[in-house]
Chains A and B, each alone.
Chain A
């Protein structure tokens, strides 16, 4: 069975510092990985997906199949990045509809 692990429940950094939110997964097939973000009092929304290989709001994430990781990175954190971040996995080709989520990491960016 697939599993997604986010080892840090809380990550606190100062504005302008680099950020890395860790995500590791276990899945025997070819997974599709996502990062979702939930800002305070807002709905869960897709931040990025690995197949797009794009940068959203300065965030990037690279799928490392060797290490089974999909860490989310941003070189310079902003206060508005403070939110809950969830890493999620879907079976390849399923386009992310029956997702397996990690437990989430709360990012706090201090001024």
Chain B
């Protein structure tokens, strides 16, 4: 089991472009969580998804950000029309179910230039 896999590890986008961050959970895990870490800050919860459902998106910015976790394939965090303030490390975690501990991926570092 390779653990939670995130790609790309580093992503550079120009202002106004779209960023797509992928997260493949650990085998057998159907729950995915996205966190964002801004420079010099701790990780902040963004969204919690179960296969095909958004369970909690209380930490997601209201505009430009969306997340999905389809029946097949990885979870995608999508940021439209990126701005400099979106530059951050985005971490994904997965768990077997909502009551079990989650394991983290290595993160995607997004840089908006």
Contact = CB atoms under 8 A, between A and B. Distances in A.
Decide whether A and B assemble into one complex.
yes
A97 B42 contact: no
Given A98-B33, A102-B42, A103-B42, 15 more contacts: A9-B40, A36-B104, A43-B106, A44-B107, A45-B104, A93-B99, A95-B98, A95-B100, A96-B102, A97-B31, A99-B45, A101-B35, A101-B43, A103-B40, A104-B42
A97 B94 CA distance: 9
Contacts of A49: 101
B101 A96 contact: yes
Query: 8 tightest A-B contacts by CB?
Result: A101-B42, A44-B104, A101-B43, A103-B42, A43-B106, A95-B99, A97-B102, A102-B42
A99 B101 CA distance: 11
Interface of A: 4, 6, 9, 36, 42-46, 49, 86, 88, 93-104
B43 A99 contact: yes
A98 B45 contact: yes
B3 A43 contact: yes
A101 B41 CA distance: 9
Contacts of A102: 42
Interface string B77-113: 0000000000000010101001111111111000000
Contacts, number: 59
Given A44-B104, A46-B101, A97 B40 contact: no
B48 A98 contact: yes
Contact of A97 (B3, B33, B91): B33
B56 interface: yes
Contact of B44 (A95, A101, A104): A101
Nearest to A34: B101
A102 B40 CA distance: 11
